[in-house]
């Protein structure tokens, strides 16, 4: 493990847009991808077509979501999702499971079968703790949605990181539902393992008006240099 891998918060991209994934993966900053049915539907392409391409573009954890409502069907659907992926990419499959009692049952069963899970729709530290105890590989608190209803989404990230640190919990914390670059900075300052970020926010992270101004100044000055 390199210094970068050990100490820098990982960045996942939250999209199913193949062009965005391909472009941002080329920057060398992606550590994974999260998808959901809404994101896939926006592409206008079939689920199987999208999934095959994503696994080819990013050789890192890829989260795929189940749609079933009871534990038995969630487990069955999870196994089917794994089988849909080419064998060489199956090591990267992560199954997104909703945070409820049926989801916890499914996570427990899947963890015993060495299938990685990402418990989503988490809105409290209590839910995060239960998901971790059930065996979740990742948990995804949706901070933006908490902000939308007037709560401080980052407060639960602070609570979760403290609890996980206290007990050396191995479940990784993915800060999800990110709305803007400040969310990313706050997540990193609190020690989150991962931030899953929409492409438009990642692009904003690259930009700064003073960088653009500086580049224009350098180019202008260079034109004045005698060749």
Whether 17 contacts 53, CB under 8 Å = no
Whether 104 contacts 120, CB under 8 Å = no
Q: What is the CA radius of gyration of the chain?
A: 19
| Interatomic CA distance for residues 138 and 146, integer angstroms | 19
Whether 93 contacts 85, CB under 8 Å = yes
Q: Which residue is catalytic, options 96, 105, 108, 227?
A: 96
The answer to whether residue 96 is catalytic is yes
Residue 219 buriedness (CB in 10 A; 0-12 / 13-18 / 19+): exposed
Catalytic residue list: 96
């Amino acid at each position: 493990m390199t210094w970068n891998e050990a100490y820098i918060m990982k960045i996942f991209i939250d999209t199913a847009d193949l062009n965005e994934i391909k472009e941002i993966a080329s920057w060398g900053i992606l550590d994974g991808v999260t998808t959901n049915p809404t994101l896939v539907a926006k592409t206008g392409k079939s689920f199987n077509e999208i999934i095959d391409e994503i696994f080819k573009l990013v050789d890192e954890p890829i989260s795929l979501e189940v749609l079933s409502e009871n534990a038995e069907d969630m487990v069955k659907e999870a196994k089917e999702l794994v089988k849909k992926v080419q064998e060489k990419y199956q090591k990267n499959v992560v199954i997104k499971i909703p945070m409820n009692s049926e989801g916890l049952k499914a996570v427990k069963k899947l963890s015993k079968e060495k299938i990685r899970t990402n418990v989503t729709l988490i809105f409290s530290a209590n839910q995060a703790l239960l998901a971790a105890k059930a065996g979740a590989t990742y948990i995804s608190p949706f901070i933006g949605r908490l902000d939308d209803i007037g709560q401080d989404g980052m407060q639960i990230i602070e609570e979760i990181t403290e609890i996980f640190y206290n007990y050396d919990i191995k479940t990784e914390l993915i800060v999800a539902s990110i709305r803007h670059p400040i969310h990313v900075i706050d997540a990193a300052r609190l020690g989150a393992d991962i931030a899953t970020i929409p492409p438009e926010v990642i692009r904003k992270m690259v930009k700064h008006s003073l960088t653009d101004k500086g580049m224009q100044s350098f180019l202008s000055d260079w034109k004045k240099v005698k060749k």
